[in-house]
Amino acid sequence: MRMDNYSHEIINDDTRLQLFFLPVSTDSSCSPLHWHGHLEILLMQKGYMTACVNEQKYTLKKDDMLVVNPKELHTTKTWGSAGYLLLQIPYDYLSRVLDHVSLIQFQEFFPSITMNSTQHRLLDCLVELSEIYEKKEDGYLLHFSSVVYEFLYILYRNHSHRISRQAREKANYNFERIEEVIHYVKSNYKKEISLNEAAGLLNVSPEYFCRLFKKQTGQTFLEYLNAVRLLHFHQDLLDTDYSINDLLTRNGITNYKVFMRAFKDTYGTTPGRIRAQVKD
């Protein structure tokens, strides 16, 4: 799955279903800090994923389920060959059938090892969705919709809680501040970005900025900045014929050694080998 726009993950709402569902197969892939207005559900089917939602880190293996609430900052990274089911429910889809959606907080992590009966039913629903989606029998959208609503009903009744308006407002305030930084990085990653500069966006000291960013996103600002540059570098490697040295410069990458280690960590190979494969 390519991420052309990594800050708002691309969601192809099926105009008929009004939601997005996809069984994803991928080799080592990474999607840096991003957010979207959708409720996202992820069921791991093969391999491993690490995910960070707000300040919380999770490792997902087969049958673990992750729920990302709307507008929550998150990062995902798969390791080696991985497969998962991805279901994204638009905010409007929820607010048509639920009151005060903005005050609903769904449980985030459902590890398979501690699953109870309602969690098992949730997992079964997702597997059923993938079977319906696979077969696409006549009338399958009716069946699909029925199971999606059943899933949401069980999730809502058993694995959600209300948060207060104050808590939501505070979360929104923190979210908007980090969003401003993300937006800035997205527009300026090609050039050098100093901590002072980033902290200046929020009118706070560099020290406070570092703590805030790490607390809200689970990663340091530098880790995030490097991840954005890494993603663009990798994309350019596939899409252009600029030399690797050119691409380093064009994507604002200065610390070659640190960068190469991160690249190998993420893609399991070197830029040179990827370029050679593309040319073949």
Residue ranges in contact with a second copy by CB under 8 A: 16-18, 96-98, 138-139, 141-143, 145-150, 152-153, 156-157
61 versus 121: smaller Cβ distance to a second copy: 121
Pairing of β 65-68 and β 109-110: antiparallel
- Residue 176 CA, chain-centre distance (Å), reads 17
Least Å distance between CB 231 and a second copy?
36
Residue 99 Cβ, how far from a second copy at the closest point, in Å? 8
Q: Which two structure tokens, joined as six digits, stand for 220? A: 């340091």
DSSP codes, 183-209? HHHHHHTTS---HHHHHHHTTS-HHHH
The answer to whether the beta carbons of residues 270 and 234 sit under 8 Å apart is no
Give me the least distance between CB of 158 and a second copy, in Å please: 10
For the four alpha carbons of 50, 134, 88 and 227, in that order, the dihedral sign comes to positive
What is the identity of the amino acid at 130? S
Judged by CB, which is closer to a second copy: 38, or 234? Answer: 38
CB of 141 to a second copy, least distance (A): 4
Alpha-carbon distance of 280 to 232, in angstroms, equals 22
Q: Which of 73, 71, 47 is nearest to 60 (CA)?
A: 47
Q: Of 162 and 264, which CB lies nearer to a second copy in the complex structure?
A: 162
* Nearer Cβ to a second copy (156/184): 156
Nearer to a second copy, 146 or 243 (CB): 146
Q: How far is the CB of 92 from a second copy (least distance, A)?
A: 11
